Amino acid sequence: MEKKRILIVNKFYYPRGGDCIVAMNLERLLKEQGHEVAVFAMQYHENIDSGWNQYYVSQVDFAGSVGDKIKAACRLMGWGDIKSAFNKLLNDFKPDIVHLHNIHSYISPFVAKLAKQRGCRVVWTLHDFKLVCPSYSCLLYGRPCEKCIGHSKTYVAKTRCMKSSLAASAMAYIEARKWNRNVLERYTDAFVCPSKFMAIKMRKDGFDTQKLHVVCNHIDPEKLSLFNSHDITHEDYYVYVGRLSTEKGVETLLRVASKLPYTLMIAGDGPLMKKLNDIYFGYGNIRFLGRQSAKQVAELIRKARLSVMPSECYDNNPLGVIESLCAGTPVVGARIGGIPELLNEENGIVFTSGMSNELLTAINKAFSSNWDYSSIKKNAILRFSPQVHLDKILRLYGCN
């Protein structure tokens, strides 16, 4: 196989969220195949040393001083030091491929233009809905919203749906106008959609179908190693792993859990942490574990009877579902976003997002079902294999 020089670009370089984990895992997989890989990110105190830190663009802060906010606004437009920083790495590394991940706001789509002008092939993995929704989340007042998809992006300013702020929403609109579909398609050879749902929304917004490629996320090799290091043994509890915020459906889940006899373990942190702790403090069957390490999360999922993904937003291709299935743990998942694509009657149960009665019924059914845990694990590991993911990505790179 022809070896390539690949530059991976992401806002941060530490396991901050799914986008970072996917980008960092891809870097490792590419290196294991013998490809040369460089990294470009924003300077940040939690970044892990990649060996390329000296090339990173300076940090911007949208919540800082007036000067900080002006610098951050300039970054949105591709102004400031982003050009010099990225060009220096392009000059020194000379990549064949530039693979973009989560780049809006803190880096800027301007890097796609710079890469394309150098003759690089540009591939962009979409971890959220920013290209079709200026406020990223396709949410308005906590409910799914598609007002901007296939229409003018002025709705973001009219509804102030970006952080409930007129200023932030106005900047999001300006950014969307600057980096519109025609511009982004001009500088991007392939858009990687981790779910069919994402690809459908991209098509609805007018993106060229020929440039849209569905490539599901893969299981983290380290997590897989942890899952494989023990026999399948499931204890009498179920688990939620994720952010404690309204759009994740955790409030709906806890209302249901308070009525059930089963023990719910909650791993994660977020803006609702204190509120939910206060409300459910006296419930012996609900345990808040706070933020957990990757190893602790793997253990929780592996031993659980089932996991729950109760999202009330358009989750794209959640790693939490993929990890649970690869551990042999069935999933009760909301019928929203890309979640239903990952589940079938053999590995989980879906329910209507936000519907407490359906969620309660689904959890009861999951606890009473005779799951074939070994089969769930075996099939998921094959389906979400790192090698399967890598092979698809390499084809998009043009590797033979």
Q: Using 50, 70 and 90 to split pLDDT, how confident is the model at 400?
A: low
Q: Where are the beta strands (DSSP E) in the chain?
A: 5-9, 36-40, 97-100, 121-125, 139-140, 143-144, 190-193, 212-214, 237-241, 263-267, 286-290, 306-309, 331-334, 348-351
10 CA to centre of own chain = 12
Tell me the pLDDT tens digit for each residue of 365-379: 999 999 999 999 999
Tell me the pLDDT tens digit for each residue of 25-70: 999 999 999 999 999 999 999 999 999 999 999 999 988 898 988 9
Question: Does the pLDDT value for residue 223 go beyond 90?
Answer: no
Average pLDDT for residues 183-196, to the nearest whole number? Answer: 98
Question: Does the pLDDT value for residue 191 go beyond 70?
Answer: yes
User: According to the model, what pLDDT value does residue 163 have?
Assistant: 86
Q: Using 50, 70 and 90 to split pLDDT, how confident is the model at 2?
A: confident
Q: Using 50, 70 and 90 to split pLDDT, how confident is the model at 339?
A: very high
* Beta-strand pair 263-267/286-290: parallel
In the block, residue with structure tokens 């937003």 = 313
Is 5-125+180-218+385-397 in CATH node 3.40.50.2000?
A: yes
Question: Does the pLDDT value for residue 216 go beyond 90?
Answer: yes
The overall average pLDDT reported for the chain is: 94
Tell me the pLDDT tens digit for each residue of 235-292: 999 999 999 999 999 999 999 999 999 999 999 999 999 999 999 998 999 999 999 9
319-326 and 18-32 helices, crossing angle to 10°: 60
Tell me the pLDDT tens digit for each residue of 94-153: 999 999 999 998 999 999 999 999 999 999 999 999 999 999 999 998 889 999 999 999
- How is the chain split into domains, by residue range? 5-125+180-218+385-397, 221-383
User: According to the model, what pLDDT value does residue 177 have?
Assistant: 94
Q: Do 221-383 and 5-125+180-218+385-397 have the same topology in CATH?
A: yes
Residue 298, C-beta contacts closer than 8 angstroms, at least 6 positions apart: 223, 226, 227, 323, 327
User: According to the model, what pLDDT value does residue 384 have?
Assistant: 96
pTM of the model: 0.94
- Long-range interactions of 357-365: CB distance < 8 A, separation 24+: 359/252, 359/253, 359/256, 359/308, 359/310, 359/332, 360/256, 360/259, 360/260, 362/332, 363/238, 363/256, 363/260, 363/262, 363/306, 363/308, 363/332, 364/260
Q: What angle do CA 128, 328, 241 make, to 5 degrees?
A: 45
User: According to the model, what pLDDT value does residue 192 have?
Assistant: 98
Task: Tell me how far apart the alpha carbons of residues 356 and 287 are, in angstroms, rounded to a whole number.
Answer: 20
Q: Using 50, 70 and 90 to split pLDDT, how confident is the model at 17?
A: confident
Q: Which fold has domain 221-383?
A: Rossmann fold (3.40.50)
Which H or E element spans position 76?
Answer: helix 66-77
Tell me the pLDDT tens digit for each residue of 286-338: 999 999 988 899 999 999 999 999 999 999 999 999 999 999 999 999 999 99
Average pLDDT for residues 190-212, to the nearest whole number? Answer: 98
Tell me the pLDDT tens digit for each residue of 138-181: 999 888 999 999 999 999 999 999 988 888 999 999 999 999 99
